[in-house]
Amino acid sequence: MEYNTQTRQMIMDLIAKNPDRIFKASDVARKLPNISLSTIYRNLSRLEKSSIVQIVGAEENNELQYRYTGPGSCESKMHLVCKDCGKFFHLEGPALRILQHSVARLNGFELDNQQSVLLGHCASCKRRRK
């Protein structure tokens, strides 16, 4: 078990208080301006190795995006993530079962709901783009 520093706790608290959002290191730096970007990257990497955050992809500039997956986060649901605003949506119920069945039937592949994220654009952001 690694020592939990005050800085790491501040980063973890920020992400845990916003479990329905994805974060980039630059987002964390804007919210916690007294912490250097290199320290934020280092701590996000450690939090990812501890399964407290999950890497959910990267933007066009290759900046990694993270989501909170620590204690108290939602389980057994896939997530839809808006690439514009970063908001999370749960994919559960019949839609999830249809997707799981289709993927298994067509590819023989079993989805890991906790680790699966589908990226796209939410209805609100789609309206703004038009």
Q: Could you report the per-residue pLDDT of 33-91, keeping only the tens digit for each?
A: 999 999 999 999 999 888 888 887 776 677 888 888 876 666 567 778 888 887 778 78
Print the domain residue range for 47: 1-73
Q: What is the value of pTM for the model shown?
A: 0.65
CA distance to 25, 67, 75, 118, 128, per residue, from 32 (Å): 10, 17, 28, 28, 29
Evaluated on CA atoms 26, 130, 95, 89, the torsion sign reads positive
> What is the total count of domains within the chain?
2
User: Which residues have a Cβ under 8 Å from the Cβ of 116 and sit 6 or more positions away?
Assistant: 78, 79
Rounded CA separation 32/99 (Å):
38
Percentage of the chain modeled with pLDDT above 70:
88
Q: Are residues 68 and 4 in the same domain?
A: yes
d(C-alpha 61, C-alpha 67), whole Å: 18
Q: Are residues 80 and 68 in the same domain?
A: no
The rounded distance, in Å, linking the Cα atoms of 29 and 31 is 5
Task: Clarify whether residues 81 and 32 are in a common domain.
Answer: no
